[in-house]
A = this chain, B = another copy of it.
Amino acid sequence: MVSERGLEVLRVIVHDYVASREPVGSKSIVERHQFGVSAATIRNDMALLEEEELITAPHTSSGRVPTDKGYRLFVNQLADLRPLTSAQRQAIETFLGHSSDLDEVLSRTVRLLSQLTNQVALVQYPTFSRATVRHVELVRLSETRVMTVLITDAGNVEQRTLEIGAEIDEVFLGELRATINALVGGKPLLEAASLLPTLVERFRPERTPFVAEVVQTLVEQVTAGRQERLVMAGAANLVLTEDDFSGNLFPVLEAIEEQVTLLRLFGEMRSDAVDVVASIGAENASFGLAQTSVVSSGYTASGGELARLGVLGPTRMDYSTNMAAVRAVARYLTGLLGDR
């Protein structure tokens, strides 16, 4: 079993390794920290830690490096969420100070987060499944093309274009729009999705194909309207930590661009608490991100809907700082989006 001091040793190993990028040895530990014991004693503790697979030595006779399991223990028990500096708090204030457009807010948030942490920052769009339909607009783009625009009370707008087999009757389009808005205006998205199909039979048979197509598109928008998206910033930070990725930056950048992968990853983290959590190294192996860690937290938007935001970086990252930053930004954002 690993002793109390052993855990303290693990903590400083994580701390020093993150700071210096170099394996840390017993001697440098007693030099830099007041343990009141000799290097030999530390060595004994380290041997135990290694037995528990919490640390490992890159090669015989070199310093130790935390394993993923070591980081996990560190995050679970040892990490003291380093409180933000006043400068950082101020940055959050001024950056997100006055709310505006949702797009704008999230875009600022992600840039802020990436600056605070020097990592790649990710912010997921709220799903808005509890939002209500504010307005539906149908726009005739050409003889056979129509655009549907869905506006929710949470302030997001979603458009879709569809090709119609027949020519579009502008007058009828207006009629249809009015009917649709009367039907689903103010209704929650889920309810709207079930209401919309009833529309089809309200119109004369020759209209059916057209109406059906519009309705189907809208239903898709309404349900998948909570289609998941995320915004990203700070990819450049990745190349600064390049050597932490044994040269394999490519798959990481690919995953970032893919979004889908990251959304699934966020999805798995969602089951956890609303508070800040970390997914470390090998835990992300199924996403092809075995050398990266993700620190994320839930935040809530107006509808009480939960979404996530967080940062992604090398396993060897400063969890204390990053978790504190993610938590702070998530809380601030929740406050900001709450009162709309």
Contact = CB atoms under 8 A, between A and B. Distances in A.
Interface of A: 98, 100-104, 134-135, 137, 139, 141-142, 145, 147, 149, 151, 153, 155, 157, 159-163, 233-236, 238-240, 249-251, 253-254, 256-257, 340
Contacts of A103: 159
A159 B101 contact: yes
A257 to B, nearest CB: 6
Nearest to A158: B157
Nearest to A234: B257
B161 A141 contact: no
B147 A139 contact: no
Contacts of A235: 235, 253, 256-257
Nearest to A98: B163
A340 B145 contact: yes
Given A139-B151, A149-B151, A239 B250 contact: yes
Contacts of A141: 134, 153, 155, 340
10 contacts: A101-B147, A102-B161, A103-B159, A135-B139, A137-B137, A141-B340, A157-B157, A233-B257, A234-B257, A235-B256
Contact of A239 (B159, B163, B239): B239
B149 A149 contact: yes
A157 B149 contact: yes
A340 B142 contact: yes
A261 to B, nearest CB: 13
A233 to B, nearest CB: 7
Q: Which of A98, A233, A257 has the most CB of B within 10 A?
A: A257
Given A235-B235, A250-B239, A254-B236, A155 B149 contact: no
A161 B249 contact: no
B155 A101 contact: no
A90 to B, nearest CB: 23
Nearest to A145: B340
A88 to B, nearest CB: 21
B239 A249 contact: yes
A161 B250 contact: no
A100 B148 CA distance: 12
A168 to B, nearest CB: 13
Contacts of A155: 141, 145, 147, 159, 161
Contact of A151 (B98, B100, B137, B254): B137
A104 to B, nearest CB: 8
A256 to B, nearest CB: 8
Nearest to A251: B236
Given A104-B161, A234-B257, A236-B250, 10 more contacts: A103-B159, A141-B155, A145-B155, A147-B157, A149-B149, A151-B159, A236-B251, A238-B253, A239-B239, A240-B250
A153 B102 CA distance: 24
A159 B159 contact: no
Contacts of A135: 137, 139
In the A-B complex, the 8 residue pairs with the smallest Cβ-Cβ separation, listed nearest first, are: A236-B253, A101-B161, A239-B249, A236-B254, A157-B159, A134-B139, A236-B250, A239-B250
A42 B249 CA distance: 41
A157 to B, nearest CB: 5
